[in-house]
Structures are given as structure tokens and as C-alpha cells.
Amino acid sequence: MIRLTGINSDEFVLNSDLIETIEETPDTVISLTSGKKLVVKEPSRVVVQMVVDFKRKIYNRF
């Protein structure tokens, strides 16, 4: 799970396993496997780094 900021400044937590694509148009648009699209304030490189950090934290716990 990663914490993101919506375009309206509301924070929310997203299950990173649901991310299908991330694009900048110039806003960052995250497309989910459900077909839903989310617009967030964080740039795509930050979102990708959040996902990598989360996965490392989860899979390196043993």
C-alpha cells in the first residue's frame, strides 16, 4: 500500500498491486486494473519509487 495525494489534496492509500500504468499528461494519471483512473499530485517517478520501496519492505522482512 502506498500513500498518495489526489488532485484535490485529499490523501488516500492505494494497493500498489492494482496499478496497471502510470502516465504524465502533465498530471500524473494512474490506471488501475479495474479500469478506474486516478489523478495524483506526485510525479510518476515518485509513485514508482514508492512502489519499489513498499515491495522491498514487504519481501525483505524474512
18-58 pLDDT, tens digit per residue, is: 999 999 999 999 999 999 999 999 999 999 999 999 999 99
Give pLDDT, residue 60. 85
Residue 54: partners with Cβ closer than 8 Å, 6 or more residues away:
1, 2, 16
Domain ranges, ordered by start, for the chain: 2-59
Does residue 61 carry a pLDDT above 70? Answer: no
Q: What is the pTM of this model?
A: 0.90
What count of Cα atoms within 13 Å lies in the side-chain half-sphere of residue 27? 12
Contact in structure between 14 and 30 (CB atoms under 8 Å):
yes
